[in-house]
Amino acid sequence: MKLEFGLGTSTQVVEVPEKNLIGVLRAKPAPAIPSEEEEVRRALREPIGAPLLREIVHPGEKIAIVTSDVTRPMPTRKVMPALLDELYAAGVKAEDITLVFALGSHRKQTDEERERLAGERAWKEIRCVDSDPDDCVHLGTTSVGTPVDITRVVAEADRRICLGNVEYHYFAGYSGGAKAIMPGCSTRAAIQSNHSMMVRDEAAAGNLATNPVRHDIEEAAALCGIDYILNVVLGEHKEILRAAAGDVTKAHRELCAFLDQIYLNKLPKGADIVLVSQGGAPKDLNLYQTQKALDNARHAVRQGGIIILIGSCREGLGERVFEQWMTTSPSPEAMIERIGRDFQLGGHKAAAIAITLQKAKIFLVSELEDDFVRSIFLTPMPSAQEALDEAFRELGEDASVLAMPFGGSTLPRVGE
């Protein structure tokens, strides 16, 4: 069977023998919706665990709407018209509304990027700003010691409304919900404290019940207070499949359950070989982003297997600390040992790759130089087909193969 995997703006075609292929993980069909705009308006008409938004906000109140920055696929421009209509219906004035892009530990954005994210109407009608980690209000400390320092424009608002897209997150369980506040509007020190728990086994994609990172996120957000969320689940082409509004936890959990219906794939056992990509540009621009697909593939491969990671990485590794860890560590084991005593943002992704290397060999099909790929403990391959051929040589002609063309979105779960 011929399979296609995105690599930058091109594709890699791989011929996989039918007898070896045990599955192609893709999104399951989602229920049809009239339109993306109507789905957002429906969510606002049918809030979960909360009254209508227009019954919560009042004229004269300062409203902070927190949304994702340029590194995330949240379609802010698509949801803002319906949200603004709802706020205006409650008597809120445009001059009292601020759209805040939650940067977390990411760089500041340009005006052009903010305008593109906000959409024409919101950009013209309300104030649109980036969060500022250097101007925060201290609101307390969580039970595990994470400082709750929230960007001032959000902390001092009368009402906080959080936007976000819900997808799997490799150590917070799922994105969305309270993540807009922590780490979205927090300081680097707060983010490091929270993310340091990523090394625990319970800090895994798809886990909410016992996930220490997610629990800390929601405890921090409760100290700040979130009045409402408007979250979405996106399809493989970034279209809105489902929206939910209302209570920060109840609405979020409903979308997590919907996400599982579409993107969770249960497998009887791990595969010998996993072919995986992020789906191409822009999600495979660097290894820092491509790692998301790699981490999901880790759940699908058997111990001692091979992961064939397909991603352009034409801009290199993509983050300064991540690059420093990957290029100066003497071994993968050294990165895992280091993250336990010296947690650093950026280093956490290097450690995640090292954890995957403890389970499987990683073949990388990319635009990076071969010698450089070897220096970061991965095995370079000129094409996905040649990588698969080599994997068969190493593991045998009967080796099982699992394909994940959109690896960052689909989550395998083995043995259930």
CATH code, domain with 220: 3.40.50.11440
Residue 105 pLDDT exceeds 80: no
Do 273 and 229 lie in one domain? The reply is: no
Nearest-5° Cα angle at 233, 113 to 291: 70
Do the Cβ atoms of 399 and 389 come closer than 8 Å? no
Residue 350 confidence (pLDDT): 96
Residue 416 confidence (pLDDT): 60
Do 40 and 188 lie in one domain? The reply is: yes
When pLDDT is cut at 50, 70 and 90, the band that residue 321 belongs to is very high
Do 324 and 350 lie in one domain? The reply is: yes
Do 174 and 41 lie in one domain? The reply is: yes
When pLDDT is cut at 50, 70 and 90, the band that residue 370 belongs to is very high
DSSP string, 346-410: THHHHHHHHHHHTTEEEEEESSS-HHHHHHTT-EE-S-HHHHHHHHHHHH-TT--EEEETTTTT-
Question: Which tens digit of pLDDT belongs to each residue from 191-200?
Answer: 888 988 888 8
Mean pLDDT of all residues in 400-414: 93
Number of C-alpha atoms within 13 angstroms, CB side, residue 66? Answer: 35
Q: Which is more confident, 282 or 404?
A: 404
Residue 177 resides in a domain: yes
Residue 409 pLDDT exceeds 90: no
Which CATH number belongs to the domain containing residue 328 in this structure? 3.90.226.30
Question: Which tens digit of pLDDT belongs to each residue from 1-27?
Answer: 999 999 999 999 999 999 999 999 988
Mean pLDDT of all residues in 228-251: 95
Residue 199 confidence (pLDDT): 80
Residue 200 confidence (pLDDT): 87
Cα–Cα distance measured from residue 189 to residue 371, given in angstroms and rounded to the nearest whole number = 35
Do 121 and 217 lie in one domain? The reply is: yes
Do 188 and 55 lie in one domain? The reply is: yes
Do 163 and 139 lie in one domain? The reply is: yes
State the helix-helix crossing angle for 111-118 and 76-89, rounded to 10 degrees. Answer: 70
Residue 198 confidence (pLDDT): 85
Do 45 and 141 lie in one domain? The reply is: yes
Residue 345 confidence (pLDDT): 80
Do 106 and 138 lie in one domain? The reply is: yes
Mean pLDDT of all residues in 206-213: 96
How far from 64 is each of 45, 112, 258, CA to CA, in Å? 20, 21, 27
pTM across the whole model:
0.86
How many domains would you assign to the chain?
A: 2
Do the Cβ atoms of 271 and 301 come closer than 8 Å? yes
Residue 344 confidence (pLDDT): 84
DSSP string, 52-106: -GGGT--TT--EEEEEE-TTS---HHHHHHHHHHHHHHTT--GGGEEEEEE-TTS
> What residue numbers bound the domain in which 386 lies?
2-26+264-414
Do 331 and 407 lie in one domain? The reply is: yes
Residue 240 resides in a domain: no
| Range name among 72-76, 364-368, 371-375 with the lowest pLDDT average | 72-76
Question: Which tens digit of pLDDT belongs to each residue from 377-398?
Answer: 999 999 999 999 999 999 999 9
Both tokens assigned to 192: 């490091």
Cα–Cα distance measured from residue 174 to residue 255, given in angstroms and rounded to the nearest whole number = 10
Mean pLDDT of all residues in 353-366: 97
Question: Which tens digit of pLDDT belongs to each residue from 30-72?
Answer: 999 999 999 999 999 999 999 999 999 999 999 999 998 877 7
Q: How many CB atoms lie within 10 A of CB 165?
A: 22
Residue 253 resides in a domain: no
Question: Which tens digit of pLDDT belongs to each residue from 341-359?
Answer: 888 888 989 999 999 999 9
Residue 79 resides in a domain: yes
Mean pLDDT of all residues in 205-228: 96
Residue 279 resides in a domain: yes
Residue 308 resides in a domain: yes
Residue of 302, 292, 287 whose CA lies nearest to 359:
302
Collect all residues with Cβ–Cβ distance below 8 Å to 174 and sequence separation of at least 6. Answer: 166, 167, 168, 205, 206, 208, 214, 252, 256, 259
Residue 11 resides in a domain: yes
Residue 232 pLDDT exceeds 70: yes
The full length of the chain comes to 416
Mean pLDDT of all residues in 209-234: 97
Do 365 and 403 lie in one domain? The reply is: yes
Collect all residues with Cβ–Cβ distance below 8 Å to 334 and sequence separation of at least 6. Answer: none
